[in-house]
Amino acid sequence: MWVGYHERNVGDCQRSVKKFDNVCLSQQNIVTLSLEDQYDTTFSYGGVWYFSDYSEGLFLISHIYDGADNKKAIERLSKHIKPGGKLLLGIQGPHYDYRKSVSNGMIYSKNIVPTSYGFRKYYYLMSEDRTVMTQTILYRTYTFDEAISLLADHGLVYNPEKRTESEFFVEFEKI
């Protein structure tokens, strides 16, 4: 099972799985997720949840800002992972401010502003002195220890011995 966030990723996923006859796609709200099956492996790489590697260590980043909704979503997800099954959460680089010229002469920038429970990320596309596009996203963050505890509360246990060899994922096992 793949856990994604953006609508545009659904089409990418549909194209990617066409060659597999044992794949079924379902588009749902993760907070109210309801599926008929349990799965051996579930992953999120930059989807709803992922880890970000900062100098202070790994932090769980969530596209769900509300703490209670994060708990509900993890509880729902956990119900659809088989005992002994895996949850793989991707590891990405840190979020940071930047500003860069794009090929058409416009400026694309991101600005990160801390909040009580995470951060707000502002995206801008500028053309000379006018703003062409803006987008704002709220992210909830958890320290690594908070994330381990949150997932363990729902039967998803981190085993440092099972850290994936590629170092692209943090692995949890459903008990």
35 falls within a domain: yes
Q: Quick one: pLDDT at residue 112? A: 98
Q: Quick one: pLDDT at residue 125? A: 97
Residue 43's CATH number: 3.40.50.150
Q: Quick one: pLDDT at residue 24? A: 72
84 falls within a domain: yes
Q: Are 90 and 168 in contact (CB under 8 A)?
A: yes
83 falls within a domain: yes
Q: Quick one: pLDDT at residue 163? A: 66
The structure tokens listed for 164 are 């994936």
102 falls within a domain: no
pLDDT in tens, the chain (175 residues): 666 656 666 777 778 888 888 777 778 899 999 999 999 999 898 889 999 999 999 999 999 999 999 999 999 999 999 999 999 999 999 999 999 999 888 999 999 999 999 999 999 999 988 999 999 999 999 999 999 999 999 999 998 876 656 688 999 999 9
The structure tokens listed for 102 are 């794009």
* Domain region containing 86: 7-94+140-174
| 123 vs 120: CA distance, rounded Å | 10
Q: Quick one: pLDDT at residue 166? A: 62
126 falls within a domain: no
135 falls within a domain: no
62 falls within a domain: yes
Domain count, the chain: 1
Q: Quick one: pLDDT at residue 124? A: 97
Q: Are 77 and 172 in contact (CB under 8 A)?
A: no
- Positive or negative, the CA dihedral 72, 90, 118, 29 is negative
